[in-house]
Amino acid sequence: MKRYLILEDGSVFEGNAFGSPSESTGEVIFTTGMTGYQEFISDPSNCAQILTLTYPLIGNYGINPEDFEAMEITLAGVVVREWSQQPSNFRSQRTFGELMEERNVPGIAGIDTRQLTKLLRTHGSLRGKLTAAGEQPNVERIVEELNAWSLPHDEVSRVSTLRPYPSPGRGSRVVLMDFGMKHGILRELNRRDCDVTVVPYNTPASEILAMQPDGVMLSNGPGDPTDIPEAIQTVKELIPHVPMFGVCLGHQLIALASGASSFKLKFGHRGANHPVKDLTTGRTELTSQNHGYAIDLASLEQTDLELTHIALNDQTVEGVRHKQYPVFCVQFHPEGSAGPEDSVHLFDQFITLMQTAGKAGKQHA
């Protein structure tokens, strides 16, 4: 059946419906990864967005139980050039389309995703609507609705865990604040035998400190960091007391809690091939990224943060560390999933930071 993608600027893309037959509205974005579609669609950072996958063939190796980054898929929709109905891979247990239908996510295939991506790069991310399967749309009315529609501001509360839960280990005790956590972050901590407790995004600093953690990890997540001022306040209260490592949204929260400011990128950084330079080593690493906001470089001058990583594509802030406390963060995803693992050593840096701070604390005591 036919389905249409209609954008707020009046652009109309006609394609074929797959997945859920229902309609949906969201911010239309794109990601450039050539593989890893299962990880991309299950990343909670894409909550309420219509994700365009720029690689032309999607679903060719199917869907498996191991590669989900979250069990709930919170996308508003998926846009592809072509989706494979007959995947070929020994790990595959179902098709991409079957997963979309099961999780009630509408998709559209058969459109020129290159043209759509060029449009988004020119005009920035746009609000869009995927029509119901088989529906003949009233384009003028839908464009009016899209221009009146406001982007949501509650994405983090939608995707964060509702209650704390443990992921036991025998090593460093870590509290992981879940703002829309990719499971890859938890996996990397588990590989280092961390004793992890995952807590909701709005857990107060007093409750976190009462757990006596060796360190606090701030996860990725969707949306604008200024939409969760309670989390910014929590991070501000935690910084003087405990080693901390932030990723993606967690990075932005550390920066905002330290007095920096954020802004919305024109079309975001999404994909598995973004070059980032580590200014402390001079090394360039390829990184996986998925975010629509960034930290204003000039705003760091009035803070106790120093720049550690910078994006080579557009010179935006990709990492900072605190000058006084054992706190650091990066805008990209060092765990990859999907994507390169050039920066996975940052988890080892976090472990070392916690161990060093622990030894210092014992000597001081």
Which sequence spans correspond to the domains of the chain?
Answer: 2-152, 156-364
Q: Is 123 helix (H, G, I), strand (E, B) or coil?
A: helix
Catalytic one of 248, 291, 318, 322: 248
d(CA 250, CA 122): 29
Q: Would you say residue 56 has pLDDT above 90?
A: yes
Q: What is the DSSP string of 128-194?
A: EEEPPTT----HHHHHHHHHHPPPPS-HHHHHS-SS-EEE--SS-EEEEEESS--HHHHHHHHHTT-
Is 306 tagged catalytic?
no
223 is in an annotated binding site: yes
d(CA 269, CA 229): 23
Is 335 tagged catalytic?
yes
Question: Residue 358: its pLDDT value, please?
Answer: 76
37 is in an annotated binding site: no
37 pLDDT band, cuts 50/70/90, is very high
Name the residue among 19, 104, 42 with its Cα closest to residue 3. 19
d(CA 159, CA 6): 26
Q: Is 64 helix (H, G, I), strand (E, B) or coil?
A: coil
Rounded to 5°, angle at Cα 102 from 100 and 103: 65
DSSP 298: G
146 is in an annotated binding site: no
292 is in an annotated binding site: yes
Question: Residue 361: its pLDDT value, please?
Answer: 60
202 is in an annotated binding site: no
Min mean pLDDT across 129-138, 239-248, 311-320, 352-361 is at: 352-361
252 is in an annotated binding site: yes
CATH of domain 2-152: 3.50.30.20
Is 251 tagged catalytic?
no
For residue range 260-287, list pLDDT tens digits in order.
999 999 999 999 999 999 999 999 999 9
265 is in an annotated binding site: no
Q: Where are the beta strands (DSSP E) in the chain?
A: 2-7, 12-19, 24-31, 49-53, 57-58, 77-79, 82-83, 106-109, 126-130, 165-167, 173-178, 195-200, 215-218, 244-247, 262-278, 284-295, 305-311, 317-322, 327-330
Span 51-65, average pLDDT:
96
221 is in an annotated binding site: yes
Give the CATH class of 156-364: alpha beta
363 pLDDT band, cuts 50/70/90, is low
Q: Which residues contact 106 (CB under 8 A, 6 or more apart)?
A: 3, 17, 19, 20, 21, 22, 23, 24, 77, 78, 100, 130, 133
Write phi, then psi, for 218 (nearest 5 degrees). -105, 120
Q: Is 339 helix (H, G, I), strand (E, B) or coil?
A: coil
Q: Would you say residue 365 has pLDDT above 90?
A: no
113 pLDDT band, cuts 50/70/90, is very high
Q: Chain-wide mean pLDDT for the chain? A: 96
